[in-house]
Amino acid sequence: MAGSTLEIKDLHVEIEGQEILKGVNLTINGGEFHAVMGPNGTGKSTLASAIMGHPKYEVTQGEVLLDGENVLEMEVDERAQAGLFLAMQYPSEISGVTNSDFLRSAINSRREEGDEISLMKFIKEMDAKMDTLEIDKNMAQRYLNEGFSGGEKKRNEILQLMTIQPDIAILDEIDSGLDIDALKVVAKGINEMRDDAFGCLIITHYQRLLDYITPDKVHVMMQGRVVKSGGPELAKRLEEEGYDWIKEELGIEDETIGSK
């Protein structure tokens, strides 16, 4: 099986009445790793949030299709069950709900009633993945993200990714706040996911993560649009030269939203 396809077509998104995304087009196929890069405030998280169905973001135009199905008509949990996953830039903290109960509930939501994963099997799988990510075992019994350090939150997002095994994942700034050792560990987890069936959109504003995870395609976002796409060499050039040359090439003065 070649996996799923996520198509983003002419996507326009508003937040509190302000248009942030102004027509984004992207297609991610199973087996492909895409990187979306761009300075802060150019709409990267907005893209990720709108695809997943964040309550604050309103899609005003365009479509998002997963294997031809209209994602935008689905509830958030249905999007996830259809195969989407978003590792969030700022994961929520949920008091009273342990990491472990949360994760088990997430797995069981994809299974039929009566076919829930056994506790033993679940613990075994979770333990193995926690080892890969070098996560302290007591994190399983801590409340979901509550009091986690920035790095712990990021690892926890990847733990969820690896346990849930979605078809298409979007990773929003999964590298921010990680030291180099943690970055390598997280990259290892993500690379373990790589196969023909798995598609991934990696959002970052540093090229650093891409030293460890080689993307097939690289896109640059500015002013709420994808302004340039290329191969891994584009990321390299951005690392060496920054974003100014793109702005110059395209005649952009201010790359953030709300400017022309």
Whole-number Å distance between alpha carbons of 149 and 141: 16
201 touches 37 (CB < 8 A): no
Residues 123-152 that bind another protein (CB under 8 A): 143
Which one-letter DSSP state was computed for residue 143? B
Residue from the set 59, 65, 164, 197 that interacts with another protein by CB under 8 A? 164
Instruction: Work out how close the CB of 40 gets to ligand ADP at its nearest, in angstroms, rounded to a whole number.
Output: 4
Q: Two tokens at 80?
A: 């996830």
CB-wise, 36 or 103, nearer to ligand ADP?
A: 36
Residue from the set 41, 53, 166, 189 that interacts with ligand ADP by CB under 6 A? 41
Residue from the set 12, 22, 110, 225 that interacts with another protein by CB under 8 A? 110
State the burial class of residue 45 (Cβ atoms within 10 Å of its Cβ: 0-12, 13-18, 19+). Answer: buried
Choose among 220, 230, 209: nearest CA to 252: 220
Residues 36-95 that bind another protein (CB under 8 A): 52-56, 75-77, 79-81, 85-86, 88, 91-95
Whole-number Å distance between alpha carbons of 173 and 186: 12
164 touches 137 (CB < 8 A): no
Instruction: Work out how close the CB of 42 gets to Mg ion at its nearest, in angstroms, rounded to a whole number.
Output: 9
Q: Is 122 in the site for another protein (CB under 8 A)?
A: no
Number of residues that bind another protein (CB under 8 A): 32
Q: Is 46 in the site for ligand ADP (CB under 6 A)?
A: yes
Q: Which residue type does 39 have?
A: P
Residues that bind another protein (CB under 8 A): 52-56, 75-77, 79-81, 85-86, 88, 91-98, 101-103, 105-106, 109-110, 143, 160, 164
